Amino acid sequence: MTSSLKLHNTLTGQKETFVPLNPERITLYVCGPTVYNYVHIGNARPVVAFDVLFRLLKRLYPEVVYARNITDIDDKIINTARDNGEDIGALTTRFAEAFSEDMTALNTLPPTIVPYATDHIAEMIGMIEKLIEKGHAYPSDSGDGNVLFAVQSMQDYGKLSGRSLDDMLAGARVEVADYKRYPGDFILWKPSSDDQPGWDSPWGRGRPGWHIECSAMIEKHLGKVIDIHGGGQDLIFPHHENEIAQGCCAHGTDYVRYWVHNGYVNIDGEKMSKSLGNFRLVRELLKQYRGEVLRFALLSAHYRSPLNFSEDVLNQANATLDTLYYALLGRGEKIEAAADVSLADEHPVIVALKDDINTAEAISAMHAIAAKLNKAEPADKPALKAELLACGELLGLLNQDPTDWFQNKGHNDDGLSNDDIDALVAERNASKKAKNFARADEIRDQLKDAGIQLEDTREGTRWTR
């Protein structure tokens, strides 16, 4: 009996067996960026975590439709474009492209669909009209063009975050405005001034609120009810709580079956915040570290746990990848991976990922395979190398040629590239054959001082750093 996929569902607070609506078509939605700046490493964590889930679902089911949106209309965007003296379209295009480049550098697969908010204004207006018709939303009594969701109209509003309406008003920064009938009501549509982007609507020229954007895009591309909705835990309230309200009340159905949220990224033990000035932009980190190192660091802890992101964590990620790539490199010998090796459902990496995307446990299982590969007889190495590569594919790791991995690192402190090492090993072997043992020992000592260990075997001389 193969193990089933289990996911921690924020809605129930429990790890549950995943039962899709339609096993032939899995639907997954993850909130994407608001494109007014470069993304930081905290923004990258859900992208990488749910990329692994996407890869796993693609293995388990015949079709997976994965949508990750781009929010290209927002007050932060409007204000940034104004401060820059820049056209809003130019600003959002520039940062949407930068986000795509950064996530590609982290070896994330492109989603099936990348919907832009501004392409779905008609769908948003249609959903708002439906909510008004069903008594869950209202145009402001002052007629100023605001339309609001009436949170008191939904009996179980707050079920995702586990907050009562009183708790929300006491503990959250709620805008108290005279156009609201209840302080906790939230904006679905707001008026636009002449110098702000806007669209014609039954309530006048305006633009959508943040929450309605995702609900409308989900309905358009994935359906009224979807399997999995992902995002960072900072989105649980108010964004995802309000998405549930809109989706359930508009259709009288469930909205999302499994809510999955990743934990925060802390920087050097402190929460990332503008006040501390400790944001780490992915684009800047990529100047110092390769994308695979950043990805490995993000996957090194369970996705729901807080992740402490530091220079030490990145250096450890780099060193661990070195270990795995050394195993693939064959310690100086050439190993061709066996063809058509597939992982069984009982494979430790598959079992770990099926258990609520436990990437830390999956990485541990990959280390065990690498250790076997290092010690294996030559005849067993091709299958083990293929196995390790197949595991890496599920995690989005080990996608480079091992030789390129080390060549692209540059040289070590003694200036020895892989080709330099190969040449010295060849010269040492030739010296031994010519009985020039002094020179052979000299080369061994030179390599040892450079951190290169040699091992003479029946198949020839192997080396490792």
Q: State the CATH number of the domain containing residue 69.
A: 3.40.50.620
- Does 458 lie in the same domain as 382? no
User: Does the pLDDT at position 426 exceed 80?
Assistant: yes
User: Does the pLDDT at position 28 exceed 60?
Assistant: yes
Q: Which region among 244-258, 337-351, 451-465 has the lowest average model confidence (pLDDT)?
A: 451-465
Does 109 reside within a domain? yes
User: Does the pLDDT at position 3 exceed 60?
Assistant: no
Looking at 408, 432, 453, which one is the last position of a domain? 408
- Does 399 lie in the same domain as 267? no
User: Does the pLDDT at position 414 exceed 60?
Assistant: no
- At residue 412, the pLDDT reads 45
- At residue 332, the pLDDT reads 57
Does 292 reside within a domain? no
Does 3 reside within a domain? no
- At residue 76, the pLDDT reads 96
- Does 392 lie in the same domain as 265? no
Q: Partners of 262 in the beta sheet?
A: 232
- At residue 358, the pLDDT reads 98
- Does 193 lie in the same domain as 57? yes
Looking at 223, 254, 271, which one is the last position of a domain? 271
User: Does the pLDDT at position 306 exceed 80?
Assistant: yes
- At residue 165, the pLDDT reads 85
Instruction: Please write the tens of the pLDDT for every residue from 330-383.
Output: 765 677 888 877 899 999 999 999 999 999 999 999 999 999 999 999 899 999
Confidence at 110, pLDDT banded by 50, 70, 90: very high
- At residue 459, the pLDDT reads 64
Q: Which residue shows structure tokens 């994935």?
A: 222
Amino acid at 184: G
Range of the structural domain that residue 70 is part of: 19-271
- Does 216 lie in the same domain as 111? yes
Between the two ends of the chain, the Cα-to-Cα distance in Å is 43
Does 225 reside within a domain? yes
- At residue 465, the pLDDT reads 66
Higher-scoring residue by pLDDT: 422, 33 = 33
Cβ–Cβ < 8 Å for 185, 149: yes
Instruction: Please write the tens of the pLDDT for every residue from 257-289.
Output: 999 999 999 998 888 877 787 889 999 999 999
- Does 218 lie in the same domain as 162? yes
- At residue 174, the pLDDT reads 65
Q: What percent of the chain has pLDDT over 70?
A: 95
Rounded to an integer, the average pLDDT of 207-227 is 98
- At residue 458, the pLDDT reads 67
- Does 207 lie in the same domain as 154? yes
- Does 123 lie in the same domain as 30? yes
Confidence at 415, pLDDT banded by 50, 70, 90: low
Question: What is the bridge-based pairing of β-strands 226-232 and 26-30?
Answer: parallel
Higher-scoring residue by pLDDT: 432, 347 = 347
Q: 3-class DSSP state for residue 86?
A: coil
Q: Which region among 193-207, 234-248, 298-312, 436-450 has the lowest average model confidence (pLDDT)?
A: 436-450
Does 297 reside within a domain? no
Q: State the CATH number of the domain containing residue 404.
A: 1.20.120
Does 206 reside within a domain? yes
User: Edge-to-edge strands of the sheet including 265-267?
Assistant: 270-271, 265-267, 307-309
Domain total for the chain? 3
Count of positions (residues) in the chain: 465
Q: For the whole model, what pTM was predicted?
A: 0.88
- At residue 409, the pLDDT reads 61
- Does 425 lie in the same domain as 400? no
Nearest to residue 28, comparing CAs of 127, 118, 112, 108? 112
- At residue 390, the pLDDT reads 96
Q: Which region among 170-174, 232-236, 296-300 has the lowest average model confidence (pLDDT)?
A: 170-174
Instruction: Please write the tens of the pLDDT for every residue from 49-96.
Output: 999 999 999 999 999 999 999 999 999 999 999 999 999 999 999 999
Rounded to an integer, the average pLDDT of 427-455 is 88
Does 286 reside within a domain? no
Looking at 271, 290, 319, which one is the last position of a domain? 271
- Does 264 lie in the same domain as 170? yes
Instruction: Please write the tens of the pLDDT for every residue from 142-189.
Output: 889 999 999 999 999 999 999 888 777 775 556 678 899 999 999 999
Does 266 reside within a domain? yes
Inter-residue long-range contacts of 312-317, CB under 8 Å, 24+ positions, other chains counted: 314/285, 314/289, 317/293
DSSP string, 251-309: HTS--EEEEEEE--EEETTEE--TTTT---BHHHHTTTS-HHHHHHHHHSS-TTS-EEE
Question: pLDDT averaged over the chain?
Answer: 92
User: Does the pLDDT at position 44 exceed 70?
Assistant: yes
- Does 192 lie in the same domain as 63? yes
- Does 380 lie in the same domain as 266? no
